Structure 1
Amino acid sequence: MSARVVTVSATFGAGGSSIGPAVADALGLPFVDRAIPVSVAAEIGCTLEEVLAHDDRAERGLGRLLANAARLPSATLGGMDVYLPGTAFVPEEEFVSHTERFIRQVAREDGGVILGRAGALVLADHPEALHVRLDGDRERRLGHALRAADRADEVPRTGTSQRAMERMLDDNDRARAAYVKHFYGADPADPRLYHLVVDTTRLPEPAVVDLIVTAARAL
């Protein structure tokens, strides 16, 4: 039996945003990433910007906002003070419950490769789900993130940009860990949550994709 659902937990710079879609393409499954906040926003009637303020995955989510939290209006989310645009926002518990409902709907219907959102915990008992963790040495992840930014012409390779990227990495890692700890009482780095843990800083991306695809087909 081949897994119809693959959840991917990834630290910053571990390649989740590129490995996830590649795995989905190889398995013929939808890739579920930004579709989650868009769908949640439509259901609960809030703006996309408000939902993205709760995002534990993207650079423009919790991690990026932490740096400015001390100077901006804030609210407590995941045990940290973060900026939430506008005066009205969705309570964190409501946001998480809607997100979980969406993830379970994906698993129940067409399946998919789900990046972030504590998918391994939400679908821990799902019989057709493969749970994967992507991680690696901090300095190697930093190097991967800088090279990816260079390729996208987003951040020039300067000392200042490297310091900014280091802050982004640390903020994102803390935000993602806090999301899982706050809402699920778990450590996302705990290998017991996953069927497969891969150091993506040591293996080339195509090899990682092949490894995950092989595991999904063997489940």
Structure 2
Amino acid sequence: MTVLTISRQFGAGGKTLGKTVSKRMGYTLADEDLVQMVAERAKVSNDWVKSIEKEAGGSLLRFMDYMISKSYVDRVLAETKGYIDEKIYVSALSEIISTMADEGDCVIIGRGGQYILRDHPRAFHILLVGRREDRVRFMMENYNLARKQAETAITVQGKRRRALYKKFGKEDYDHPSLYDLVLNMSRISMEKATDLTCDLIRG
């Protein structure tokens, strides 16, 4: 029972690789599903979880502290019976990813899987990188974006990625020692990347 985590520089094709590998291997693919699982665990909306992922350094919590009255927050939480902050988010995410890994045969995209499952005996971790220009081109070709849109998306998502890993207290997320395989998508095709990843899983 194997689990694969895919980390990537935005635009390197992590989601695409996850889909092709999971289809070929018959694995479960976990990406946006993780947002819903965390939301259900914390009894909050998907949007609230997404805001935790996107906001850096607790700015969402500071906004709540200073811009919204405590009594209002208390009423909202009493009505929804749910709450999430960065600590709860990381804890819930860790529990969910660990459970999925124990069940096996799944591909987990992003969200710190390489840290959460670092010591899991049947986990393989891969990292996708690529030149910025190639990643811009990939976004244009695969997501029907104009160049300016693709460039903006890569810049914004790169910042969000850094912010997310700060919640784990990590800044070495692109270091090759964290991974079993590092793929430079500027040098190889998606088909080759799929072959190499599946070979890694099969052993």
Q: State the TM-score, normalized to the length of structure 2.
A: 0.84
Verify: 1:215 aligned to 2:197, yes or no. Answer: no
- Aligned equivalent of 1:41, options 39, 58, 73: 39
- Aligned equivalent of 1:79, options 18, 36, 57: 57
8 Å Cα contact 1:181/1:187 also seen in 2: no
Q: Which moved more, 1:126-135 or 1:21-30?
A: 21-30
Report the Cα offset of residue 80 of structure 1: 7.1
The residue aligned with 2:191 is: 206
8 Å Cα contact 1:6/1:131 also seen in 2: yes
Unaligned runs of 5+ in 2: 77-82
Report the Cα offset of residue 215 of structure 1: 0.9
Q: State the TM-score, normalized to the length of structure 1.
A: 0.78
AA in 2 matched with 1:99: L
Q: Deviations over 1:80-110 (max 9, x none)?
A: 7469899776211101110110000001113
The residue aligned with 2:159 is: 174
Q: Percent identity?
A: 28
State the number of aligned residues. Answer: 187
AA in 2 matched with 1:138: R
AA in 2 matched with 1:141: R
What SS does the corresponding residue of 2:155 show, helix, strand or coil?
Answer: helix
CA distance in structure 2 between the aligned counterparts of 1:79 and 1:46, rounded to whole angstroms = 20
CA distance in structure 1 between the aligned counterparts of 2:187 and 2:60, rounded to whole angstroms = 33
Change (3 A) 1:82 1:135: farther
Report the Cα offset of residue 54 of structure 1: 2.8
Change (3 A) 1:166 1:111: same
Please, what is the CA RMSD of the aligned residues? 2.3
8 Å Cα contact 2:5/2:108 also seen in 1: yes
Q: Deviations over 1:103-132 (max 9, x none)?
A: 000011134100001101100001101100
The residue aligned with 1:193 is: 178
What SS does the corresponding residue of 1:54 show, helix, strand or coil?
Answer: helix
AA in 2 matched with 1:183: F
Unaligned runs of 5+ in 1: 56-61, 63-76
For the pair shown, which has the larger CA radius of gyration, 1 or 2?
Answer: 2
- Aligned equivalent of 2:8, options 6, 10, 20: 10
